[in-house]
Amino acid sequence: MPSITRQPFRTAVLVLVWGWLLFLVLAPNLLVVGASVMTRDPGTFISLPLNLDAYRQLFDPLYLEVFLHSLYMAAMTTLVCLLIGYPFAWALSKLGKQRQLLLIFLLIVPFWTNSLVRTYALKMLLATNGLINSSLMGLGWIDEPLQMLYTEGAVIIGLVYLLLPFMILPLYSVFDDLRQELLLASHDLGAGRFATFIHVIVPLTLPGVLAGVMLVLLPAMGLFFVPDILGGSRNLLVGNVIKNQFLDARNWPFGAAASIVLTITMAILMLAHRLSKQRIGEEGA
Amino acid sequence: MKKTLLSLSNLTKQFDGKTVLDSLSLDIYDGEFITLLGPSGCGKTTLLRLMAGFEHPDAGTITLSGEDLTGTPPEHRPLNTVFQHYALFPHMSVFDNVAYGLKMEKRPKEEIRERVEEALAMVQLQDYMRRKPHQLSGGQQQRVAIARAVVKRPRLLLLDEPLSALDYKLRRTMQVELKRLQRELGITFVFVTHDQEEALSMSDRVVVLKDGLVQQLGTPREVYERPANLFTARFVGETNFFPGEVESIHDGTITVDVFGLKRTLRRPDFPVREGQSLHVLLRPEDIRVLDPADEQGVAGKIVERNYKGSTLDSVIHLEYGTEVLASEFFDEDDPAFDYRLGEPVKVSWVDGWEWLLPEEADESVNEDALTDA
């Protein structure tokens, strides 16, 4: 009897999931791939013939520089997130369960406010006559306001602020799974704290590090409103290029090609993550 | 005279104000197989963790061959641990797991390779060196854990319920294998278990623990046949308790009234006086089930019978209300012997096979403490 009632439900769920994936994930991505190999057209945005001009344009020194600078800022953001997130997640996993839940809750609270609003809030802090400058001047520690806004640093601060939770959560998950017995076994076999960290803790938390890097590095190249608000004209992200090509320059093929580069970067990172998990035997042999 | 290797004196440990070990002292001899036996929460694992250095005692000292180890961190103690859930490093191959301790000692590569191969050969895993732990069965993982711990040639090997995750047959095989390893290596084994059968079959000496206190320390035979108190008697093996009352005291013997039977028994070590109540302990295999027409014995009837292959185990409900467990071997004369439920019988035992214990102040059986971890 249950199989008769369950079967339609099963089918409905499968149709829903597959429908979702086909129409909202696969189809749009195929459209982007399609757009990237077509020709720019002022009237219809894209037209035939097919060509790889958009990809060639990516290697234009001007855009290559933007891409590399964006990668650099994203890498710095990721590094800062990792340096803050790793010890934070480690300490978090050592607290009592109640406190862990409270801190994770606090970590998630900022998501309730739109990230654009939070970025404007950051701008108020960093501005020339913002809270930080006026406090420091009020204390007499500086005579002239520091130029913080519209710098590379401001963009990185903004990105770290928005993306840090995405680094902490996967790291917390691997630290939470880290069995204390393994650390004891390492000490028991003669390893001190440092050797245990290098030989046991780092390799076993590597999947979390890579997951965190994936969740931070890619968005850090795409969150175009952060440089828009905090960065000025020189600190562009790949996301700004993509946005400009679609909305301002009306060069859809080029915007699509830039977007696909990001997708490929993501795929490579996901592959690395998978390999690192296989190494410790968490997924199939 | 045996040489003491590890000496624990007056060890006390509390967690959140709860005393887990209460001024416990114990000498472990060089080369022996000693088992810490007790129900969960008795302090046996804490005791092991103190020896390994994972915990530090609130009071008391640990010395190894006269050298104070109390404050020494685990990485500097010449002893190794086999963990309950193996604790193999999942990201390392079997070879690297076993080599880990030697690498930490910064041994030359060639020596490491030789010693790891030797250790793996000892546990018959030399063909699995390149595998990862998750590609091995539970029993194989267990053997890697043992190889990893003995490859450093520790003075003492601590084993924390190492067989509890294995199925029955594999557990029996590993018990034999562990005994063999211990004999061959000549290393002192400190073995923690809540399985009394395992404790009896493997150990040179058994330490029965309850509530952080040593209840009894002795050979498996002493612990089983001459339990020091009611707890040990109940925890180690099945026991029937008959209430007895001392009728008269003679040289070397006493006459005790058990369910109306007057039996003359060996005088126990503890002081006795006439009229005193005491416990007469009988193991199921000591019970003799007699014909109801027999003059000796206490009348009752069979309420349960279980065929166990080599024995027939039965439960007999006595007229006095007590239930008795009996375990009888099949013998050659009557291989088909059996009882039917409700069959009237009489119960007795051979003089001298009983064990007497005085009544204890607190006799409430803590059933929780008797169930396994």
A22-70 confidence digits (pLDDT tens): 999 899 999 999 988 888 887 777 788 888 888 888 888 888 888 888 8
Closest CA to B300 of B314, B280, B284: B314
pLDDT at A60: 87
Q: Do the domain assignments include residue B202?
A: yes
> What residues in A contact B141, CB-CB < 8 Å?
none
Tell me, yes or no, if B87 comes closer than 8 A to chain A by beta carbon.
yes
Tell me, yes or no, if B100 comes closer than 8 A to chain A by beta carbon.
yes
Same domain, B129 and B13: yes
Radius of gyration for chain B, computed over Cα atoms and rounded to the nearest angstrom: 25
Which residue pairs from A240-245 have beta carbons closer than 8 angstroms and sit at least 24 positions apart in sequence? A240/A66, A241/A63, A241/A66, A241/A67, A241/A70
Percentage of residues of chain A with pLDDT beyond 90: 42
A49/A152 Cα distance (integer angstroms): 40
Q: Give the residue with greater pLDDT, B360 vs A1.
A: B360
Same domain, B80 and B222: yes
Range scoring the smallest mean pLDDT among A4-8, A181-185, A245-249, B141-145: A4-8
Range scoring the smallest mean pLDDT among A173-177, A194-198, B189-193, B360-364: B360-364
Q: How many domains does chain B have?
A: 2
For residue B369, pLDDT beyond 50: no
A105-125 confidence digits (pLDDT tens): 999 898 888 989 999 999 998
- CATH number assigned to the domain comprising residue B102: 3.40.50.300
Structure tokens at B249: 């005291």
Same domain, B200 and B327: no
> What residues in B contact A189, CB-CB < 8 Å?
75, 80, 100-101, 104, 148-149, 152
- How many CB atoms within 10 Å of residue A153? 17
Same domain, B72 and B184: yes
**Angle formed by the axes of helices B94-104 and B138-150, to 10°?**
20
Q: Give the residue with greater pLDDT, B339 vs B367.
A: B339
pLDDT at B332: 67
CA quadruple A175, A176, A178, A184: dihedral sign: positive
Same domain, B204 and B246: no
Query: Quick check: B122 and B132 in contact, CB under 8 A?
Result: no
Do A184 and B81 count as a contact with CB atoms less than 8 A apart?
yes
* E-assigned strand segments in B138-294: 156-160, 188-193, 205-210, 213-218, 240-249, 253-258, 261-266, 277-282, 287-290
Residue at token pair 């369950």: A6
Same domain, B132 and B207: yes
Domain ranges for chain A: 55-279
Q: Do the domain assignments include residue B371?
A: no
A154-180 confidence digits (pLDDT tens): 999 999 999 999 999 999 999 999 999
B32-55 confidence digits (pLDDT tens): 999 999 998 888 999 999 999 999
Nearest-CB residue to B90 (from A189, A190, A280): A280
Closest CA to A88 of A171, A162, A166: A171
Which residue pairs from B61-69 have beta carbons closer than 8 angstroms and sit at least 24 positions apart in sequence? B61/B8, B61/B9, B61/B10, B61/B11, B62/B6, B62/B7, B62/B8, B62/B9, B62/B11, B63/B6, B63/B7, B63/B9, B64/B5, B64/B6, B64/B7, B64/B155, B64/B156, B65/B5, B65/B155
Structure tokens at A2: 């249950």
With CA atoms as reference, the chain B residue closest to A281 would be B134
pLDDT at A46: 78
Backbone angles phi, psi at B170, to 5 degrees: -65, -35
Q: What is the pTM of this model?
A: 0.80
Do A189 and B135 count as a contact with CB atoms less than 8 A apart?
no
CB under 8 Å to A76, separation ≥6 — which residues? A156
A166/A216 Cα distance (integer angstroms): 6
B330/B347 Cα distance (integer angstroms): 18
Do A181 and B87 count as a contact with CB atoms less than 8 A apart?
yes
Do B85 and A285 count as a contact with CB atoms less than 8 A apart?
no
Domain end position, chosen among B233, B256, B277: B233
Same domain, B195 and B276: no
In angstroms, the Cα distances linking B258 to A122, B34, B284, B305 are: 88, 37, 17, 24
pLDDT at A5: 57
- CATH number assigned to the domain comprising residue B351: 2.40.50.140
Q: Do the domain assignments include residue B365?
A: no
pLDDT at A195: 96
For residue A282, pLDDT beyond 80: no
How far, in whole angstroms, is CA B10 from its chain's centroid?
A: 22
Query: Quick check: B336 and B2 in contact, CB under 8 A?
Result: no
Q: Do the domain assignments include residue B369?
A: no
What average pLDDT does chain A have? 88
Tell me, yes or no, if B81 comes closer than 8 A to chain A by beta carbon.
yes
Q: Do the domain assignments include residue B76?
A: yes
Q: Give the residue with greater pLDDT, A282 vs B51.
A: B51
Same domain, B226 and B250: no
B293-314 confidence digits (pLDDT tens): 888 888 898 998 888 888 888 9
Same domain, B244 and B229: no
Residue B11's domain spans which residues?
4-233
Range scoring the smallest mean pLDDT among A221-235, B274-288, B351-365: B351-365
Q: Do the domain assignments include residue B370?
A: no
**Looking at this predicted complex, what is its ipTM?**
0.82
Q: How confident is the model at residue A93 (pLDDT cuts 50, 70, 90)?
A: very high
- Angle (CA) A269-A273-A279 rounded to 5° is 145
Q: Do the domain assignments include residue B128?
A: yes
Structure tokens at B84: 């309950």
Measure A104 CA to nearest chain B CA, in Å. 26
For residue B71, pLDDT beyond 80: yes
Same domain, B78 and B137: yes
**Contact pairs from chain A to chain B, CB under 8 Å:** 74
Q: How confident is the model at residue B133 (pLDDT cuts 50, 70, 90)?
A: very high
Domain end position, chosen among B233, B267, B295: B233
Same domain, B250 and B142: no
For residue B193, pLDDT beyond 50: yes
Superfamily of domain A55-279: MetI-like (1.10.3720.10)
Measure A188 CA to nearest chain B CA, in Å. 5
Query: Quick check: A163 and A216 in contact, CB under 8 A?
Result: yes
Pairing of strands B205-210, B213-218: antiparallel
Do A281 and B90 count as a contact with CB atoms less than 8 A apart?
yes
Nearest-CB residue to A185 (from B87, B91, B132): B87
